[in-house]
Structure 1
Amino acid sequence: MDLSTTVEYRCRTNIDLYSSPLCQGLATQAAVHRQLRLESLTATEQAIPVRLCEDNYPAWLKLADLDRLELATAIYQPRQIDRATIAASIPHIIAFAQAAMQVPNRYLWGGTVAPDYDCSGLMQAAFQSQGIWLPRDSYQQEAVVEQIEIADLLPGDLIFFGTPIKTDHVALHLGDLDYIHSSGIQMGRNGIGIDRLTDRSEDLVSCDYYAKLRCCGRVMGSFINSSDV
């Protein structure tokens, strides 16, 4: 297959993408049928820089995985999706996350493909199951939602945790302050679970995350990269 930076490619299978040209750390995963473009034709000994079309996410693709791409038949076109459509999709988004929890899974940094997710990967996959795109990382997801007060939380809203400087974790509100998320080993459940916005000391995971609560947000539209407008 001839390579070019002026066309888009489609993933024939799920593909792992990496955070460095040495391919030592998983950055994200490209599910089958996702599209990407090459950022440059200058490759290292192991990888070539790419950017996913749907969320504009940069990463490194192993040269050995180039044969898992095929030429896309059409350029990716983002869809405008209004809030009413998103609101109608919330039960299905929640059902996706709950179904993912029922399958044996573990927390995987960079995971966006079943069964193993990281926090923002689960959010991205759940919304994408209904054709709604979110950015890849939790802090990017925080940047595109409409911020709301805790008292105004509805099912399907996002809850963000982190430091005063930056978000580093995200969860999906289920209702009545319960939320579902994929949390890690050191602070969490090493996989998908349900916790609650509470500071009750007997609920250690919920309490730890409550201490890191930053804000809440409502998804108002599907992510559209500014360069696609």
Structure 2
Amino acid sequence: MTSLEQLLQSPTGEYCCRSDLDLYDSSNCDRLATQAAAGRHLKILSNCSANGAIKVRLCEDGYVAWLPVDKLTEMEPAKTVYVAIARSRSYIESRLREIIAFTKAAMEVPNYYLWGGTLAPNYDCSGLMQAAFAASGIWLPRDSYQQEAFTKRIALEELLAGDLIFFGIQKVDHVALYLGDGYYIHSSGKEIGRNGIAIDRLSGEGDEVSRSYSQKLWSFGRVMSSYQP
């Protein structure tokens, strides 16, 4: 029996990551899509591999990606299925201080912008947001445009520390966490950004990076619940 056939024997239909895993956006496994921390649950979507990879779906955020077959040894059958925990807005409010603290602590560790990164020390923009909230037991969807659709849209005048700020031109492609007093923290890229986690001003009068993102300002969102795929 092959390792794939052995893995497909899970009585719950779900598997648990034994270690941190990289997942990819195609069966070629040449472009990182997301990462799965040890302990996360996933489902296998196909009994057959393609180009040495299998399609999987992460249970916590519903994200679909590809896992190299040679990483199957890093998974084991889950003893129980993943059950999403509902979180109220009041619970989320009680955790905003530690969510903000998570992002600031991540900024203090040497890091760089990693497309698809959701694990320390290197994150992409939405990966940092997802990781910060997940550390407090609150799940967000994976990508920035999904996070924008998931949150409650609010006006600039309503913006509070812990709300999300979305950027884009034709669609949302970047997200940041509002800190209050006109500042936000985010992981930004190399071309237009700081190649890692930094704090910038929500203003068109800041430095070049702040001005650039100000021109792409899209919307503001408030996390009202934990994501339940």
Shift of 1:151: 1.2
Is 1:181 the counterpart of 2:186? The answer is: yes
> Match of 1:219?
223
Q: Secondary structure at the match of 2:80?
A: coil
What residue identity is the alignment partner of 1:142?
A: E
> Match of 2:142?
136
Q: Secondary structure at the match of 2:147?
A: helix
> Match of 1:42?
48
> Match of 1:91?
97
> Match of 1:208?
212
What residue identity is the alignment partner of 1:173?
A: Y
Shift of 1:176: 1.1
Q: 1:60 aligns with which of 55, 59, 66?
A: 66
What residue identity is the alignment partner of 1:168?
A: D
TM-score in terms of structure 2 length? 0.95
Q: Give distance in 2, aligned partners of 1:211 and 1:86.
A: 30
Shift of 1:195: 0.3
Is 1:172 the counterpart of 2:177? The answer is: yes
How many residues of Structure 1 are paired with residues of Structure 2 in the alignment?
A: 223
Shift of 1:31: 0.4
Q: Give distance in 1, aligned partners of 2:222 and 2:175.
A: 12
What residue identity is the alignment partner of 1:102?
A: E
Contact 2:61-2:139 within 8 A present in 1 as well: yes
Q: Give distance in 1, aligned partners of 2:121 and 2:108.
A: 10
What residue identity is the alignment partner of 2:177?
A: L
Which 4+ runs in 1 deviate beyond 3 A?
none
> Match of 1:24?
30
Shift of 1:3: 2.9
> Match of 1:113?
119
What residue identity is the alignment partner of 2:203?
A: T
Q: Give distance in 2, aligned partners of 1:166 and 1:199.
A: 20
- Identity in percent: 56
Shift of 1:45: 3.1
Considering only aligned residues, what root-mean-square deviation do their CA atoms show, in Å?
Answer: 1.0
Q: 1:101 aligns with which of 102, 107, 119?
A: 107
Q: Secondary structure at the match of 1:10?
A: strand
Shift of 1:44: 1.3
Q: 1:150 aligns with which of 156, 170, 180?
A: 156
Gaps of 5+ in 1: none
Gaps of 5+ in 2: none
TM-score in terms of structure 1 length? 0.95
Q: Give distance in 2, aligned partners of 1:177 and 1:53.
A: 35
TM-superposition CA deviations, 1:148-207 (whole Å, max 9, x none): 1111110100000001x310000000001200000000010000000011001x511010
